Amino acid sequence: MAAVDLLCGGGSASVLRAKRLLPLAAAMALCLSPGTRAATITVNSVSAGSVGGMCTIVDAVTAVNTQAAVNGCAPGDSSNDTIDLTGFTASTTIAFTQAASGFSHALALTKAVTIIGAVDSGGMPYVTLERSFGPLTPTFGLIETTAALTLEGLTLSNGSAQSGILGGAILAGNTLVVNHSVIISNFSSSAGGGIAANNDVTLNHSTVSGNTAANAGGGIYSTSPTSIVRIDFSTISGNLTTSASGLGGGGIYSSGSVVVGNSTISNNISATDGGGINTSNSVTLSASTLSGNTAQAGAGGAVFAINAKNSNSSVGASASTINGNSAFTDGGGINANDASLTNSTITGNTANGSGGGGVHSSTVSLNYCTVFANTSQFGLGGGVDFAISGTANGTILFGNTPRDVNSPIALAGSFDIIANSTSGIPAGTLICDPMLGTLGNYGGFTMTLPLMNGSCALDAASATPSLTTDQRGFARPAVGESRFKADIGAFERQAFEDPDLIFANGFE
């Protein structure tokens, strides 16, 4: 076979004959279809407008949309081009003073693109895109797009979407990926103070903080019931919704599912339901912390997942900690149709309504969890409140006010510690003080409540537990201490000196 055939990788006989008749350079051009090429447009000016002979970000966007050269910007080719700001390696701000003509945001994209900036040694972006703080600057958002968008190494700040416009920083009509970026202090008078999207949203190693929306999704708002909001190694904190008649979701509001891994959702406030997360679909948490979130006039301080028309409305959590959240009504930690928690710690949450300081759910399943010191102000289920079915295996339910469990039916399960309940508890349940230590970092990605010396939870669970690790990822049962049974709760003590309180704060 000719060298050109090897280069192009074969094809129909007529195509191969055509390739053999071409010089090598022309054959290479024929092999490279438009889908395999993409332009890189290098921005070399910090102007928020156009500069003759230079490439600004505004002209770079026009070059992407039109596939034509603009001033000093190379043309795009409609194949997921890259707008490159990595040449700026010191703190740099591009301050927009107006929206793109005919649009509600400063940058309006119609073609798929990646916008990338450099980050410092701590992972913080050098380049900030912001709406100017000048007193005469009109209100507008920062980026809107009808095509797939990837942002990397950027800070977006001070966007202001008014008059019912969505997305203070970003309005995405297609898939959105945000890597190593910061979305901070943006506003929408409608929904999506930071981000509003009608498709999948993925955050990696990013922060969405201090954004405000009137009605829904202070940090992130996703409208599609088939979409997924994925949060990985990221932080959603200090976001807010303000309307008491709105949908809520201080941190995240999603009509679709929400998947959170190795992340923190903290100190978000919803004027209604779902201080941290509000969804009519499912929430999946792994190795994550939800803390200090508030549902001011509604339910679900950390998570609200209720939808009478959607049986998939549920919360599943593994190796996660839900602590210090509060709700005006039910579910200081979680309020859901179904809650299934594994190797997780639920502590210090408060419900001011009828039940579920820690968890309020129609059905609940707890597998090697620790539910401690949660409070229901006007109900009986300080720890867990359920109505249809409940199961607890290897779980500590202790120190919750006024009761650890409230339900009209008996709780099923085995190898549990439950101090008090309004209904029946599993046979063989221990009624004792598990002697829990202080919530802290004792290994793993999330905080846990350790078992102290003399705890009745030690070696009190199954010799063949359903889970082979604890919340921290340590072996269950512990290895090397002649122990043959697992401990009850999310924390499996590995040795007499576990936790090592001297080095618990990372001084090793």
pLDDT (tens, 9 = 90+) of the chain, 508 residues, equals 333 333 333 333 333 333 333 333 333 333 444 444 689 999 999 999 999 999 999 999 999 999 999 999 999 998 899 999 999 999 999 999 999 999 999 999 999 999 999 999 999 999 999 999 999 999 999 999 999 999 999 999 999 999 999 999 999 999 999 999 999 999 999 999 999 999 999 999 999 999 999 999 999 999 999 999 999 999 999 999 999 999 999 999 999 999 999 999 999 999 999 999 999 999 999 999 999 999 999 999 999 998 755 566 899 999 999 999 999 999 999 999 999 999 999 999 999 988 899 999 999 999 999 999 999 998 889 999 999 999 999 999 999 999 999 999 999 999 999 999 999 999 899 999 999 999 999 999 999 999 999 999 999 999 999 999 999 999 999 986 556 899 999 999 999 889 976 545 544 4
For 176, other C-beta atoms within 10 Å of its C-beta total: 26
User: What SS3 state is found at 26?
Assistant: helix
DSSP-based three-state secondary structure for 118: coil
| Nearest CA-CA partner of 167 in 128, 125, 222 | 222
Locate the DSSP E strands across 301-457. Answer: 303-305, 314-318, 321-323, 326-327, 334-342, 345-347, 350-351, 359-367, 370-372, 375-376, 381-393, 396-398, 403-406, 412-414, 417-418
C-alpha span between 430 and 412 (Å, rounded): 14
Question: Is the N-terminal amide bond of 23 cis, ω within 30° of 0?
Answer: no
Distance CA 404, CA 345 (A): 14
- For position 482, what pLDDT does the model report? 59
Q: Which two tokens stand for residue 357?
A: 């300081």
Check residue 481 and give its pLDDT: 57
Yes or no: say if 227 and 233 are a contact pair by the CB < 8 Å rule: no
Give the burial class of 471: count Cβ atoms within 10 A of its Cβ; 0-12 exposed, 13-18 middle, 19 or more buried: buried
User: Cα separation of 426 and 415, whole Å?
Assistant: 8
Residue 451 is encoded by which pair of tokens? 């078992």
The single-letter DSSP state of residue 248 is B
Question: Full-prediction pTM beyond 0.95?
Answer: no
Q: Name the 3-class secondary structure at 18.
A: helix
Structure tokens at 245: 């008649």
Q: Give the C-alpha distances (Å, rounded to integers) separating 415 from 214, 393, 427.
A: 46, 6, 9
| CA-closest candidate to residue 191, choices 162, 160, 175, 167 | 167
Q: How many CB atoms neighbour CB 46 within 10 A? A: 16
Which residues contact residue 466 at a Cβ distance below 8 angstroms, ignoring those fewer than 6 apart?
367, 368, 393, 394
Cβ atoms of 282 and 251 within 8 Å: the answer is: no
Residues 6+ apart with CB under 8 A from 281: 225, 254, 255, 256, 257, 258, 305, 307, 310, 312, 313
- Cα angle value 274/279/285 (rounded, 5°): 85
- Quick one: pLDDT at residue 35? 44
Both tokens of residue 175?
A: 């898939």
Which ranges of 185-288 would DSSP assign to H, the alpha helix?
A: none
At 189 the pLDDT is 97
For residue 434, the 8-state DSSP code is -
CB distance 412 to 386 below 8 Å: no
Asked if residues 77 and 37 have their Cβ atoms less than 8 Å apart, the reply is: yes
Coil vs helix vs strand at 13: helix
Q: What are the structure tokens assigned to 253, written together?
A: 């509001």
